[in-house]
Amino acid sequence: MKIDSSLPLEYSTEENRLKIFGFWIFLGAEIMLFATLFTVYFVLANRTGNGPTGSEIFELTPVLFETFLLLTSSFTIGLGIHAMRLGNKKAMMTFFITTLVLGLGFLGIEIFEFITYVHEGATITTSAFLSALMTLLGTHGAHVTFGLFWGIAILIQVAKRGLNAQTTNKAFIFSLYWHFLDVVWIFIFSFVYLKGLIS
């Protein structure tokens, strides 16, 4: 086991380094997963059948709030990791809790958005466009939901065991996951909502 003291605690053992490395490979697989969902959406975006089109149901204001919440949560978890590297457990936990609250806010707006669609008669079975849209948004939303539970589990471990080689490694990997969800959302924001509103 090689220990490199110039790297942060989460890289401190061979196993930790491999876990971070492996998670990046997993993120590569996630990129391809979302690429296929985007493919389905782009191919079917004009197949609206008798249902509404994107520009008819998309509303800019809630989407902007979602974007702002997720961008900010990505910022706060970055600050959380920075505080963790300074060894400041209290600040790290505060930033992580802030992140999860912002994530919950994002999810709340997204669920509200889905309910609005269904009330407007735009359900997942209405048209190929809506099936593709809701599969893409739903997969992202499911990732955020999973991330909320994962984040809570990490907070409990940090609270109980403090910042050690294991907990910092888990927290860092979680931060990679959360930043990745923000990247996916940016593409949804740009190529689903904004593109849908102009065409």
- Which chain residues interact with another protein by CB under 8 A? 7, 11, 17, 20-21, 24-25, 27-29, 31-32, 34-36, 38-39, 42-43, 60, 64, 67-68, 71-72, 74-75, 78-79, 82-83, 86, 88, 91, 175-176, 179-180, 182-183, 186-187, 189-191, 194-195, 197-199
CB of 56 to another protein, least distance (A): 15
CA distance 169 to 85: 11
CB 100 within 8 A of CB 60: no
Least distance to another protein from the beta carbon of 77, Å? 8
String of DSSP letters for 134-159: HHHHHHHHHHHHHHHHHHHHHHHHHH
For the chain, how far is it from start to end, CA to CA, in angstroms?
56
DSSP letters along 157-188, please? Answer: HHHHH-S-HHHHHHHHHHHHHHHHHHHHHHHH
Minimum distance, C-beta of residue 74 to another protein, in the bound complex (Å): 6
Please list, residue by residue across 75-109, b when 16 or more beta carbons sit within 10 angstroms of its beta carbon and e when fewer do: bbbebbbebbeeeeeeebbebbebbbebbebbbeb
Measured distance CA(42)–CA(34) in Å, rounded: 12
In this complex, which beta carbon is closest to another protein, that of residue 46 or of residue 115?
46
Query: Based on CB atoms, which residue is closest to another protein, 32 or 160?
Result: 32
Residue 38 or residue 114: which is nearer to another protein going by CB?
38
Decide whether 114 or 187 has the Cβ nearer to another protein. Answer: 187
Provide the minimum distance between the beta carbon of 86 and another protein in the complex, in angstroms, as a whole number. 7
- Nearest to another protein of 31, 115 (CB atom): 31
Q: How far is the CB of 44 from another protein (least distance, A)?
A: 9
